[in-house]
C-alpha cells in the first residue's frame, strides 16, 4: 500500500495520525505531541481499529517519556493506566501498553534516563508495525488456504463487517488482509461490505480501502445479510476482533454477532481473523468483556444532520460478543483454531 495511506507515521520525533473521522472526504494528518493528545485521539477515534489503537499508544508513551526529567515505575504505571482507559474493549491497547511498561521498567532498572528510554519505545513501536506486516500476511495465507480447501480454485464471493484493513491495522489488515491477498492472487469474484451503522466504518473506511485496492465490491446495509446469504451470494464471511476470550467468544464491532447467527442459519462459514495481541485468555468467555458505550448522537445524527426527533433516546453499544458456537474458525499468525475443539485455542496461543 502507498506510503501516503499509512494511518500512523512517526517522523522527525513526531507522531502523525491520519484523522479517520474525516475519511473518505479528506485525508488530513493530525500532529500529536503529548500523552493526553494520544489518549484523546484514541477516544475520539482519530485513530481506531484494535491494532492501530495499540500501536498509537506505544508512540504516545514515547512522547510522554521524552518530556519527563525523572520517572519511577509507579509514575510510568500511572501514564500507562491513563492510556489503557482511553477505550475499554480492544485488548490490543493494554497488550501493547503493558509491554511498554515492562520495557520502561527494565530500562529504568538498568539505570537508563527517560531520554534514553524514549528512542527505545519509538523503535519498539516501529518494530510492531513492521512485524504486523508479516503476521497479517501469514494470517491472510491461512485464510486463503482454508477457502481453497472448502471451495477449490474458483473465485469467491466474500463478505466483511466494519473496517479491518490498513486503516485499522497499519498494514495489509486482518479480515480485509485475507480479502486483499486473495484479490491479488486473482481469487476474488466480489466483496460485500457492510456499511456498519452507526459509525459507518464500512462505508467510510472499508469502501475507501477496497476502492484504493481496486477490489470489486458492493456496499450493503447490515439488514441485507439474510437476503444475500439465503440467495447464495456469499461463500464466506471474514471479520476482525477486538478481544477473544479463552473459549473463542469474540468481541467485535456491533452487528458482528447478528451476522454470525445469520451465517450459521444459512450454513455460510464465518471466520474471525486477528493477531495474538487481540486474544485475552485471562478471561474464560465473552461475558467478561467490557463493551464500550458510545455517545447517543452517533445514532441520532449524521454529520450534523438530525436523523431522529430531537431528544430521542438511543442505546449505542459499540461492540457485541459473538458466541464461539457461531464461529467456523479463528485465524491468527500462529495458525487456524476451530473453537469447537475445546482447548485448541489455548494450545495455539501458547505454542
Ligand atoms: O470502533 P472501531 O472502529 O475501533 O472498531 C473496529 C473494529 O471493531 C474492528 O473490526 C476490529 O478492531 C478489528 S480491527 C482489525
| Confidence (pLDDT) at 3 | 40
Please tell me the distance between residue 90's alpha carbon and the centre of ligand 1 in angstroms: 8
Q: How many CB atoms lie within 10 A of CB 255?
A: 22
Ligand 1 binding pocket includes 48 (Cβ within 6 Å): yes
| Confidence (pLDDT) at 35 | 97
- Tell me the percentage of the chain whose pLDDT exceeds 90: 97
Q: Which atom of ligand 1 has the smallest separation from the CA of 164?
A: 15
pLDDT at residue 4 tops 50: no
pLDDT (tens digit per residue) in 86-131: 999 999 999 999 999 999 999 999 999 999 999 999 999 999 999 9
Catalytic residue among 19, 194, 235, 242: 242
Q: 150 pLDDT band (50/70/90 cuts)?
A: very high
pLDDT (tens digit per residue) in 325-339: 999 999 999 999 999
| Confidence (pLDDT) at 1 | 42
Distances in Å between the Cα of 93 and the Cα atoms of 81, 179, 217 are 10, 25, 31
- The candidate with the shortest Cα–Cα distance to 198, out of 53, 318, 76, 333, is 318
Q: Which atom of ligand 1 has the smallest separation from the CA of 176?
A: 15
Of 8, 21, 48, 92, best ligand 1 pocket probe by most atoms within 8 Å of the beta carbon = 48
Task: Collect all residues with Cβ–Cβ distance below 8 Å to 237 and sequence separation of at least 6.
Answer: 158, 159, 160, 161, 259, 260, 263, 268, 269, 270, 271
Closest CA to ligand 1's atom 2: 49
Q: What is the mean pLDDT of the chain?
A: 96
pLDDT (tens digit per residue) in 270-292: 999 999 999 999 999 999 999 99
Q: 303 pLDDT band (50/70/90 cuts)?
A: confident
Q: Which atom of ligand 1 has the smallest separation from the CA of 273?
A: 15
pLDDT at residue 217 tops 90: yes
- Is the bond preceding residue 4 a cis peptide, omega within 30 degrees? no
User: Which residue ranges does the chain devote to CATH 3.40.50.10470?
Assistant: 141-349
**Angle (nearest 5°) at CA 99 between 94 and 100:** 95
CATH number of 3-130: 1.20.120.420
Per-residue cell: 350 = 501458547
| Confidence (pLDDT) at 39 | 98
User: Which residue ranges does the chain devote to CATH 1.20.120.420?
Assistant: 3-130
242 is catalytic: yes
Domain 141-349 of CATH type 3.40.50.10470:
yes
Amino acid at each position: 500500500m502507498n506510503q501516503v495511506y499509512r494511518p500512523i507515521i512517526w517522523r522527525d520525533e513526531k507522531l502523525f495520525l491520519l484523522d479517520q473521522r474525516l475519511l473518505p472526504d479528506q485525508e488530513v494528518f493530525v500532529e500529536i505531541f503529548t500523552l493526553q493528545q494520544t489518549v484523546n485521539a484514541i477516544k475520539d477515534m482519530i485513530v481506531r481499529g484494535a491494532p492501530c489503537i495499540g500501536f498509537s499508544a506505544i508512540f504516545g508513551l514515547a512522547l510522554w517519556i521524552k518530556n519527563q526529567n525523572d520517572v519511577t515505575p509507579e509514575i510510568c504505571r500511572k501514564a500507562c493506566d491513563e492510556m489503557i482507559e482511553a477505550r475499554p474493549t480492544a485488548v490490543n491497547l493494554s497488550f501493547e501498553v503493558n509491554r511498554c511498561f515492562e520495557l520502561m521498567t527494565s530500562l529504568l532498572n538498568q539505570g537508563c534516563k527517560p531520554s534514553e528510554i524514549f528512542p527505545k519505545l519509538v523503535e519498539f513501536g516501529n518494530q510492531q508495525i513492521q512485524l504486523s506486516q508479516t503476521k497479517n500476511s501469514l494470517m491472510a495465507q491461512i485464510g486463503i488456504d482454508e477457502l481453497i480447501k472448502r471451495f477449490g480454485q474458483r473465485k469467491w464471493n466474500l463478505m466483511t463487517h466494519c473496517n479491518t484493513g490498513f486503516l485499522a491495522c497499519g498494514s495489509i489488515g486482518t479480515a480485509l488482509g485475507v480479502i486483499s491477498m486473495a484479490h491479488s492472487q486473482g481469487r476474488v469474484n466480489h466483496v460485500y461490505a457492510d456499511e456498519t451503522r452507526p459509525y459507518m466504518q464500512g462505508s467510510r473506511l472499508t469502501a475507501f480501502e477496497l476502492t484504493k485496492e481496486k477490489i470489486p465490491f458492493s456496499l450493503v446495509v447490515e439488514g441485507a445479510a439474510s437476503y444475500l446469504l439465503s440467495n447464495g451470494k456469499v461463500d464466506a464471511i471474514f471479520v476482525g476482533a477486538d478481544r477473544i476470550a479463552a473459549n473463542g467468544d469474540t468481541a467485535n464491532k456491533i452487528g458482528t454477532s447478528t451476522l454470525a447467527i445469520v451465517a450459521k442459519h444459512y450454513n455460510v462459514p464465518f471466520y474471525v481473523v486477528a493477531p495474538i495481541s487481540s486474544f485475552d485468555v485471562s478471561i474464560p468467555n465473552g461475558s467478561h468483556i467490557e463493551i464500550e458505550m458510545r455517545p447517543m448522537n452517533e445514532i441520532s445524527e449524521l454529520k450534523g444532520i438530525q436523523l431522529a426527533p430531537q431528544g430521542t433516546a438511543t442505546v449505542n453499544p459499540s461492540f457485541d460478543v459473538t458466541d464461539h458456537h457461531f464461529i467456523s474458525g479463528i485465524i491468527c499468525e500462529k495458525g487456524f483454531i476451530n473453537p469447537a475443539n475445546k482447548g485448541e485455542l489455548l494450545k495455539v496461543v501458547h505454542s
